[in-house]
Structure 1
Amino acid sequence: MHVDGKSYWENTTSAPLPRREYTTRSDYNVTMRGNRHEITDYGWVHDQDNLKIIRKEGQEDQILAAEKGYNTYKRVDDSRCAAAAQWWKDNNDKWSTVRSKWDEVYNRNTDLHLHEKVDNKVLFKHLFDEEIKTKDQIDPIIESFIISNPK
Structure 2
Amino acid sequence: MNDNIYDVCIIGGGASGLIAAIESSRRGLSSVVVDKNKKPCKKLYATGNGRCNLTNDYWDDDIYYNNDFVDRVYEKLYRKTGYRQRGFILNYFESLGIKTINLNGYYYPRSLQASSVCWSLLDAARNLGVTMLGGLTV
TM-score by length of 2: 0.23
Structure of greater relative contact order (alpha carbons < 8 Å, 6+ residues apart): 2
* Structure with greater proportional strand content: 1
* Structure with greater proportional helix content: 2
